[in-house]
Structure formats: C-alpha cells, structure tokens
Amino acid sequence: MTDNSRDTLIQLLHLSARYLDDSNHTSFLELFTKDGEYLISSYAPELADKMIWMRRSRDELEDRLAAVNEHEWEIAGIEQTRVLSVDVVSVTDNSARSSSSFSLFHTDAEGRSELYAVGRYEDEWAATKSVWLLSRREVQLKTRLLKLLSPLPV
C-alpha cells in the first residue's frame, strides 16, 4: 500500500467511531471485510480470565443491527459520543494493526451526559485493491459494570 496508509487508517478509525455515534450501521459494516469478525471482550478478576462478551461475523453483526427496532433496547435510543486516541498503527504490506483508546459518553433524552465506558479498539486491517478494511475488531472493555447493557457494537 502507499505511504499514506497510516493517515488513511487513522482517518478510518475516527470514521468507525463516528458511524457508531451516528447509528450509521451500514457504513460501519462496510468498514469490514466479507469475513470480518467483531468481538467485545472484558476481564473477570474473579475468574482471573478474559471473557468474550460478543463474537459475531460481519453477517451476524448485520443481522443483530437489522433487528434493533424489534427489540426493546434502551441503549438504541441513547445519543453516543466516542472520543478516540489512536495510539499505535503498524503497517506491513497488505495488512495492518492498530490500537486505539476510546471513551464512550452517553447523552440521555434530557441532555445529561455521562461516561459510559472506556476501553480499547484492537484492530486488524487487510488491504484489498486500494482500500483498507477491518478483518477483525476486538473491543476490549475496561468498564465492566455497565449502566446499560449493550446488544449493539460499542
């Protein structure tokens, strides 16, 4: 890929956050390769082990997002704002990795904002033709006691 891969990836990372903030699920899903994978993980100190909270293929994630309006999920109606800092981007030929820290704020219907969760996006990218796509995103949540549970991507 070209020399400006790094800048492109940083821009895509910020877009990935913006798409989720805007509930633009179609654009979010388009960031993934066809066989892309989306995971949410966290740590259980009581079990001294990592837990997988969600593991869905791109298609399975699409199914979940398509059903949003059929469920009663409070989180679907909450305004979200992600603040992202891209900490590491490493590019090798047609693949890349990036690691970003994020804070996710919620704003309720009355305009009250509060921090919902902090964590990292650990991403793997694949270059196809001239486009970078996510082959795997793992959201590593540091916040475990969530005020609202999230059947949706974080």
Partner 1 sequence: MPYRLDGHSQPDLPQSHYLDNRIYTDPVVFETEKKTILTDSWRFVCHASELQKAFDYRLVRVAGHELVLIKGEDETIRAFYNTCAHRGARLLRQPAGNLEGGRMTCFYHLWSFDNRGRCLTVSQPSGYKDSSVRRESTGLKEVRLDSVFDLVFVCLDDEAGSLRDFLGDSLIEAMRVPFGSASLEVFHLHRSEIQCNWKLFVETNCEGYHELLHLLNRNTAVSQQEYRSRQWRMHENGHLSFDPAKISYDKLDYAERAEGLLPGMEPNGHAVVNLFPDVMLNCRSTVIRIDSLIPVSPGKTILECRGLGVAGDSQSVRDMRIDHHNEVWGPTGVNLAEDIWAVQTQMQNMKEGSSRFSVIAREEEGPMSDGSLRNFYAEWSRITNLQPHHVEV
Residues contributing to the site for partner 1 (CB under 8 A): 40, 42, 44-49, 51-55, 63, 67, 70-75, 144-151
Q: Decide: 103 and 82 in contact? Cβ < 8 Å.
A: yes
Nearer to partner 1, 3 or 46 (CB): 46
Nearer to partner 1, 43 or 105 (CB): 43
**Least distance between partner 1 and beta carbon 46 (Å):** 5
**Least distance between partner 1 and beta carbon 65 (Å):** 12
Q: Tokens for 64? A: 């979940």
Enter the DSSP assignment of 76.
Answer: G
- Cα dist from 50 to 24, 102, 104, 108, 137, whole Å: 30, 19, 21, 31, 16
Nearer to partner 1, 42 or 103 (CB): 42
